[in-house]
Amino acid sequence: MEKTDTSSRNSGLRQASAVSAAVLPAESMLSISAVERDTGLSKDVLRMWERRYRFPSPLRDKHGERIYPHDQIAKLRAVKRLMDRGYRPGKIIGLHLDDLNALGTAPAGALEHSTEIQEVLSLIRGHQLQELRQRLNQMLMKQGLLRFVVETVAPLTTAVGEAWVRGEFAVFEEHLYTEQIQGLLRNAITSAQAHSTAPRVLLTSFPTEPHNLGLLMVEAALVVEGATCIPLGTETPAPEIVRAASAHRADIVALSFSAAFPERLAASGLRDLRLALPRNVELWAGGSCVRRLRKAIEGVALVRSLDQLGSMVADWRAVHGPG
């Protein structure tokens, strides 16, 4: 119907012209939905920024709907990337694209890691998937699962995270690393699984906490100790955790919190969960978020480092018997 629609629209009902439109010449223009997809900024945010900061300032198609030129989209992407690293929009949205990219570039302060970790980092950077797999596997074999987790995976994950924050790693490079480690750990966990003994540990995280690596590291450490793990994956609502603990007769519920998780939420969530769980079920919490918590929480054991887990399991067995 429409003859001069030039936008490559995202909207479902209006997408008929998207293909043809996109073939037309000046088509680095996107609709608000497309920009939402590409940048990760919601439509509401895009409109709000326009109102508040006068940026972005999209053109309008003949029907009055926003169309974003590619240069504005590029700037939006740059702003989003910086925001993910902790910058606040009001501070940076006025800057030029070049300045934004300059901000992203690492300031210089290279952190010190062991040579082995440096090597792995450069394999990721070089997109050498095959070699990366081999190298990690080799390290696992040499160190054994527990040392591998504590001395290699944990610092490596931190290093990757920091490199990403500094803009040295692309999103997809971090994704690839996570995926490789996950495969490796899951594999090792299966192999290391002995016949089940007490304690029975339920592993998961709260909603809004999608990071699985921490949980896998804990599972690996626990499996090495001969404990029985009941992994629920990430983001289990608190009432479900309670039901699962009862259904699986868990002795311990262990939760993982990444650095990005808000401290307040962690603390209040743990307190409430503690109240909802039977008294004889222990509640353990670990991860970089928890490590920062100042106050202890009544009835919650804080796991401040992975190599603590062994003695915590031993303590549990000393109190409750070998099961």
Determine, following the binding rule CB under 8 A, whether residue 35 of this chain makes contact with a second copy: no
Determine, following the binding rule CB under 8 A, whether residue 263 of this chain makes contact with a second copy: yes
Q: 């009862």: which residue's tokens?
A: 246
Q: 């003695």: which residue's tokens?
A: 311
* Residue 299 DSSP one-character state: T
Residue 51 contact, options a second copy, DNA, none, Cβ 5-8 Å cut-off depending on partner type = DNA
Determine, following the binding rule CB under 8 A, whether residue 129 of this chain makes contact with a second copy: yes
Determine, following the binding rule CB under 7 A, whether residue 10 of this chain makes contact with DNA: yes
For the bound state, the minimum distance from the C-beta of residue 83 to DNA, rounded and expressed in Å, comes to 6
Burial, 271: exposed, middle or buried (Cβ in 10 Å; 0-12, 13-18, 19+)?
A: middle
For the bound state, the minimum distance from the C-beta of residue 31 to a second copy, rounded and expressed in Å, comes to 9
Determine, following the binding rule CB under 8 A, whether residue 90 of this chain makes contact with a second copy: no
For the bound state, the minimum distance from the C-beta of residue 65 to DNA, rounded and expressed in Å, comes to 4
Determine, following the binding rule CB under 7 A, whether residue 258 of this chain makes contact with DNA: no
Q: 């002795």: which residue's tokens?
A: 251
Complex with DNA: residue 36 or 116, whichever CB lies closer: 36
CB contact burial 23-61 (16+ within 10 A = b; e otherwise)? eeeebebbbbbbbbeebebeeeebeebeeeeeebebeeb
Complex with a second copy: residue 155 or 299, whichever CB lies closer: 299
- Mask 143-162, x = binds DNA (CB under 7 A)? --------------------
Residue 294 contact, options a second copy, DNA, none, Cβ 5-8 Å cut-off depending on partner type = DNA
For the bound state, the minimum distance from the C-beta of residue 205 to a second copy, rounded and expressed in Å, comes to 10
User: What is the SS3 assignment for 143?
Assistant: helix
- Mask 185-214, x = binds DNA (CB under 7 A)? ------------------------------
Residues in 265-294 at the binding interface with DNA, rule: CB under 7 A: 265, 294
Binding footprint of a second copy, residue count (CB under 8 A):
83
Q: 């709000």: which residue's tokens?
A: 48
Determine, following the binding rule CB under 8 A, whether residue 101 of this chain makes contact with a second copy: no
Residues in 207-246 at the binding interface with a second copy, rule: CB under 8 A: 207-208, 210, 230-233, 235-241, 243-244
Residues 6+ apart with CB under 8 A from 294: none
With beta carbons less than 8 A apart as the criterion, state whether 263 and 293 touch: yes
Residues in 68-107 at the binding interface with DNA, rule: CB under 7 A: 83, 86, 88-91
Determine, following the binding rule CB under 7 A, whether residue 16 of this chain makes contact with DNA: yes
Residue 287 C-alpha from the chain's centroid: 12
Determine, following the binding rule CB under 7 A, whether residue 13 of this chain makes contact with DNA: yes
Determine, following the binding rule CB under 8 A, whether residue 258 of this chain makes contact with a second copy: no
Complex with a second copy: residue 168 or 307, whichever CB lies closer: 168
The only residue of 179, 292, 320, 323 in contact with a second copy, by rule CB under 8 A: 179
Nearest one of 245, 322, 320 to 284, comparing CA atoms: 245
User: What's the helix, strand, coil split of the chain in %, to 5?
Assistant: 55, 10, 35
What DSSP letter does each residue of 70-123 carry, written as one string?
Answer: HHHHHHHHHHHHHHHTT--HHHHTTS-HHHHHHHHS--S-PPP--HHHHHHHHH
With beta carbons less than 8 A apart as the criterion, state whether 65 and 106 touch: no
For the bound state, the minimum distance from the C-beta of residue 159 to a second copy, rounded and expressed in Å, comes to 19
Burial, 139: exposed, middle or buried (Cβ in 10 Å; 0-12, 13-18, 19+)?
A: buried
- How many angstroms separate the CA atoms of 29 and 8, rounded? 7
Binding interface with DNA (CB under 7 A): 1-2, 5, 9-17, 31-33, 42-45, 47-49, 51-52, 63-66, 83, 86, 88-91, 262, 264-265, 294
